[in-house]
Structure 1
Amino acid sequence: MNQSVIKALKLLDLFTENTKELTLKEIARKADLPKPTAYRLLSSLESMNFLYKIKESEHDSRYRLGIKLLELGQLVRDQLELRKIALPYMESLANEIQEAVHLVIPHQQMAVYIEKVDSKKAIRLDTRIGKSSSLLIGSGPKLLLAHLPEEEQAQVIGEGVDYLKLYDELCTIREQGYAYSIGEQDPDTTGISYPIFDFHQHVVGALTVSGLSHYFTGNNLQKIKKETLNTAFEISSKLGFKEIHDSYSKPNL
């Protein structure tokens, strides 16, 4: 492990409910570090907004926890709330359709899997809680990408991608209200994803069902789409989503 990173992160642990500010001298003493080393680590944390520095004099400064930690804390709280609300509905859906169910959210131009309920079938997909994936591959990530502002989409897509072809696909996802992929993340597998909305009508996640492609046909496919759509709407309702959105009123099953 990178010892410099570990040392820097340990400095954050010096701040507590009763110790909201510390000087450079105090931090160096508490961490048992030479003052120049402590200053270098603190400067790195400050540059990333993990710490906020108040200049005391030419020889010392005071530090407080920075805004970045508040942003990360809010992200964790939002994830925990969404996972807590969604999990029982995901379990019910997985039991009903006998396929794996995932909860995916956008974060820093990536798709992150924050919850999963495995299928009882023998297949095990290459997904895990905490996994990050490109927004360009798979039904869940692509659904999230389709609902990003166009300027953010352009940043994610970048160069080396057939932009017009992908743009048409993203338009189709928004129009039909769901995303569908075959063999994009795992061979011989299919994924179907529906959006989860919050009370602002923003897409905050994708409810994704994945399994072997030969199960995603005929009447079984229609059942999977219907049950996943209904479950996504139930989770959205629990998040405060009330107005009927085109994605739900015109699901194109």
Structure 2
Amino acid sequence: MLGCFSRERPALTLSQIARAVGLPVSTAHRLVAELVAWGGLERDPDGSYRIGLRVFELGALAPRGLALREAALPFMEDLYEVTHENVQLAVRDQDELVFVERFAARDAVTVLTRVGGRFAMPPTGVGLVLLAHAPLDIQERVLAGPLTRYTAHTITEPRRLRQALAEVRRTGFAVSDRQVTGDAVSVAAPILAGDTVVAALSVVVRGSSAAAVHHLTPMVRAAARGISRQLSRA
């Protein structure tokens, strides 16, 4: 029932909820009332429902959410102060990535990122890092496609994507050159807990080639290593 809500549909009526989950309105009414009493849903003055604060409280307990954000925020803030560009933190959830934190200046290049939002892994810098270190069955499933083309620069050929992932593993960072929007270039690096890649950190800037992020690569890698050290101490 909670899964019916999304950023595009943040408020739903009882009838909409019932239709979305395939339940009679009477049954949906009982379950919604229980969720409201628990705090999972809140009712607006117009009678529609929204996700309640209890869900936010529980989400903050997720180890890949709260602990990761607490470790990453100081390093992300430093990156932001130096660059005043988009600084992003993401984790992998099955075949997609989820953005768990983001900093952005008002005049920074526009990105399709939102905290809590999901996105395909192949075209993004953070996604390339996460996919490169994902289990082989995940990699093969993603490579089997379909691979969405967002711009003329998006890699949609499995062979080229395999090469890109191998390069990420070899160099320790990823560059996405205008693969999501035609004017954005990102550089990303892996964040580890022990020997496992658990997240990826990136900076996204306005640019027309991979050269736009060359000078940022050492900073992003250093910040990612710093976050990794913090996680290892936790």
Alignment TM-score > 0.5, same fold: yes
Describe the SS at the equivalent of 1:121.
coil
Match of 2:177 among 170, 177, 182: 182
> Any idea what the Cα deviations from partners look like across 1:42-80, whole Å, max 9, x if unmatched?
xxxxxxxxxxxxxxxxxxxxxxxxxxx9xx869723311
- Map 1:110-189 onto structure 2 (within 5 A): 110-119=96-105, 121-160=107-146, 162-189=157-184
> Any idea what the Cα deviations from partners look like across 1:183-208, whole Å, max 9, x if unmatched?
11121110100000002x11111101
How much has 1:15 moved relative to structure 2? 7.6
- Tell me the residue number matched to 2:224: 232
Match of 2:95 among 103, 109, 118: 109
How much has 1:159 moved relative to structure 2? 4.0
Output the aligned Cα RMSD: 2.9
Alpha-carbon contact 1:93-1:227 (below 8 Å) kept: yes
For residues 94 and 101 of structure 2, the distance between their equivalents in structure 1, rounded to whole angstroms, comes to 18
For residues 159 and 108 of structure 2, the distance between their equivalents in structure 1, rounded to whole angstroms, comes to 38
- Tell me the residue number matched to 1:210: 204
Alpha-carbon contact 1:118-1:124 (below 8 Å) kept: no
Alpha-carbon contact 2:205-2:213 (below 8 Å) kept: no
TM-score by length of 1: 0.64
For residues 221 and 158 of structure 1, the distance between their equivalents in structure 2, rounded to whole angstroms, comes to 30
Describe the SS at the equivalent of 1:76.
coil
Q: Percent identity between the aligned chains?
A: 27
For residues 169 and 33 of structure 2, the distance between their equivalents in structure 1, rounded to whole angstroms, comes to 44
For residues 9 and 76 of structure 1, the distance between their equivalents in structure 2, rounded to whole angstroms, comes to 24
How much has 1:165 moved relative to structure 2? 2.2
Tell me which structure has the larger Cα radius of gyration.
1
Cα pair distance change 1:154/1:74, threshold 3 Å: farther
- Tell me the residue number matched to 1:3: 17
Gaps of 5+ in 2: 1-11, 22-27, 40-54, 148-156
Match of 1:191 among 186, 197, 201: 186
Cα pair distance change 1:160/1:118, threshold 3 Å: closer
For residues 145 and 86 of structure 2, the distance between their equivalents in structure 1, rounded to whole angstroms, comes to 33
Gaps of 5+ in 1: 17-68, 242-253
How much has 1:124 moved relative to structure 2? 3.3
